[in-house]
Structure 1
Amino acid sequence: MTDRIDKMDARILNILQRDASLGVKEIAAEIGLSVSPTFERIKRLRKDGYIERYVVLVNREKLGKHLLVICTVTLKQQSLETLKNFEEAVNQFSEVLEIMCIAGNHDYLLKIAVKDVKDYHLFVMKHLSGIPNVANVNSSFVLKEIKKETALEVKI
């Protein structure tokens, strides 16, 4: 893996984070390189793991997912096996957008999108409470998203 990227690579990464639908020709024009070296840089950035994947961000509200929940989960035990089992189980639920193993008073933080409070209650009762070793589930309902960003600014 390449240890370093240069300013041109950083510009490419920032452009792709802003709009991954841009073609190589458009990116090349924006950074002032020809198409072939731009293509090779993008290919290398992907091969070296700087670009993990390309995605489309959808509007969850338009898809009927009006409630965003931040949920913390505490397990009864924290053995390697119980952590792995929990992660595998919760990873199967489409409602769960993000899973983070955290340090502190809780073991996991989950970001969950559902239709409404009733659907969230059903999700907790049907899915989360059914996972072995779950001791406690705390839920916070998002009232307003102030900043919603996926791009990580790349500076060199």
Structure 2
Amino acid sequence: MAEKIDLMDTRILNLLQQDASLGIKEIAAQIGLSPSPTHERIKRLKREGIIEKYVALVNREKTGKQLLVLCTVTLKQQSVETLQQFEEAIIRFKEVLEVMCIAGSHDYLLKVVVNDVNDYHTFVMTHLSSIPNISNLSSNFVLKEIKRETALEL
């Protein structure tokens, strides 16, 4: 059973969400604890799965990935087996950054990043079309990202 997250844990998590490269001493100084208990708290947060991993946020446009597509997928059948088959297939594609199983008129929402429309067409024709049981695919091209945040409010 996971321990309850207290105010000190929240402060640590907020700092790490803003800058995961902070060292133990920097975090400790900002929250008013010594390094040793700060380090123990961070280890516990990792052990309990509250901190999943540390990442660097990369500006996709500066790396040539100009096109962000939100793609909805509807399957012909929604059995446990067909859902698992789709999920196992879709996570293999490097263009797909996120896959969400959703409720409503579609089964999945995909976040896809590619260089341009031609690359997206290639992705659809070579990768998505290779997955069986897809009945409908709808692509929404993002014109402008208004808010892009990864930090959870704690």
TM-score normalized with structure 1 length:
0.97
**1: CA distance between counterparts of 2:134 and 2:3?**
40
1:153 match = 153
Alignment of 1:105-124 (within 5 A): 105-124=105-124
% identical equivalent positions: 72
Q: How much has 1:52 moved relative to structure 2?
A: 0.6
Residues in 1 aligned to 2:3 and 2:39: alpha-carbon distance in whole angstroms: 19
**Length-normalised TM-score, structure 2:** 0.98
- In the TM superposition, residue 140 of structure 1 has moved relative to its aligned partner by 0.3
Deviations 1:5-58 (A, max 9, x none): 110000000000000000000000000110001000101111111101111111
Query: 2:64 matched to 1:59?
Result: no
Write out per-residue CA displacement over residues 65-91 of structure 1, whole angstroms, 9 at most, x where no aligned residue.
Answer: 000000000000001111000001010
Corresponding residue number in structure 2 for 1:91: 91
CA distance in 2, matches of 1:13, 1:28: 12
CA distance in 2 between partners of 1:92 and 1:98 (Å): 11
**Contiguous gaps of at least 5 residues in structure 1:** none
Corresponding residue of 1:72:
72
Cα displacement (A) at 1:3? 3.6
Indicate whether 1:102 and 2:102 are aligned: yes
Corresponding position of 1:49: 49
Between the aligned partners of 1:38 and 1:88, the Cα distance in structure 2 is: 38
Higher relative contact order (CA 8 A, sep 6+): 1
What CA distance in whole angstroms lies between the structure 2 residues aligned with 1:102 and 1:18? 28
Q: How far apart, in 1, do the equivalents of 2:37 and 2:99 lie?
A: 37
Number of positions where the alignment pairs a residue of Structure 1 with one of Structure 2: 154
Please provide the CA RMSD for this pair: 0.7
